[in-house]
Amino acid sequence: MPSPQAATTTLALFCKVVDNYGDIGICWRLARQLHKEHQIDVQLWVDDLISFQRICPEVATNLETQILDGIRIQYWQNQDASFTPAEIADIVIEFFACDIPPGYIASMAQCERPPVWINLEGLSAEAWVEGCHTLPSPHPSFSLTKYFFFPGFNAKTGGLIHERTLDQERRDFLTNPSNNLQTKAQFFEQLGVLPAEISSLKVSLFCYPHAPVAALFAAWSSQEKPILCLVPDGVVTEAIQNFLGETPTVGNHYSRGALTVRIIPFMPQADYDKLLWSCDLNFVRGEDSFVRAQWAAKAFIWHIYPQDENLHHKKLNAFLQTHLATTHSSKTLSLAWNEVHTGDNWQDLWSNMSKDLATIEIQSQGWLEQMNANGDLASNLLSFVNTKR
């Protein structure tokens, strides 16, 4: 007689969108990996379906509940909603201390077997993270404990989001071993990149509106070798318009000296990964694209999410000191891009950085191997959860 099948583990992941695409980007990748690779029944609560739709076009913005890729997506709009213990998941994750509904917490306490409750924190290379990773936080009113779980860059933290097939998908895309797979050339053609532009230095640009785009563009325009900058629709539109003197639109390209700026559609996550793999240099922002740039094993410049009292500068410096593929030139450009200091000579910044691109790409392979050795965030998270059940 066959043994009964074990009940599926359920997980509720709560996400409040603060940084338009970073928060939901992280949560969506994590939800899909937990479901696909670990057979977890995931319900994703999110309060901004419009931002969600930008990275996942299949999302319907007019539905309270929908299922995509096996994930139950719940539009989170009522903080005062009530719940029964039967509605509570086995694992509850709140992303970045987003304050899940009090009614949900109250019902968690009523469960015969309370769920494992995780506060999934933001990514940082700062040393204090290691001491706070997996620390318990007892609830002041209920017999519940929440655990802090930190992504990170070493074995003393939770690691980074990384799907099992990601590295092979990147290799397949770049080397094209099968005619059934899309090639890099076909991908660029899909974006409207002209054959004459393929030989240019290719850069993707994803940053916050306050980035010093004009200074960077001016430096690129005066170069001898051509540079193609691919910018997703809606990113730093005002800065690009001010530099070009005209409103940028999707599908069009604009040239100033050696620089060609091409406006591309805002991409679903899978296509954005391909963009990072295809370019020689990637400017990324926040957390989700920042992590994906590292798995691309290419040179990148991080535009960090701004915080009060410039606390983000400490976070930036902590990463630059940790990252194996950071050269003096990339560090200097990163600090200037994040306006840690001003009055920089952007011609010199770019000249020095461009000379190091090949070296950085080689060093990035070593960084990728080191990050893989730490294990991936989803697996490490579930391993911790299992110690608390």
The residue annotated as part of the active site, out of 23, 94, 197, 356, is 23
User: What would the two tokens of residue 210 be?
Assistant: 């306050």
361 included as an active-site residue? no
Angle, alpha carbons 154-100-8 (nearest 5°): 70
8 A C-beta contact, residue 270 and residue 235: no
Active site residue 287: yes
Torsion of the alpha carbons at 207, 210, 212 and 217, rounded to the nearest 10: 60
**Helices 213-221 and 237-244: angle between axes, nearest 10 degrees:** 40
**How long, in residues, is the chain?**
389
Question: How far is it, in rounded angstroms, from Cα 66 to Cα 385?
Answer: 27
Pair 152, 129: CB distance under 8 Å: yes
Give me the catalytic one of 48, 94, 273, 287: 287
Q: Find the radius of gyration of the CA atoms of the chain.
A: 22
Contact in structure between 353 and 135 (CB atoms under 8 Å)? no
Could you list the active site residues?
Answer: 23, 287
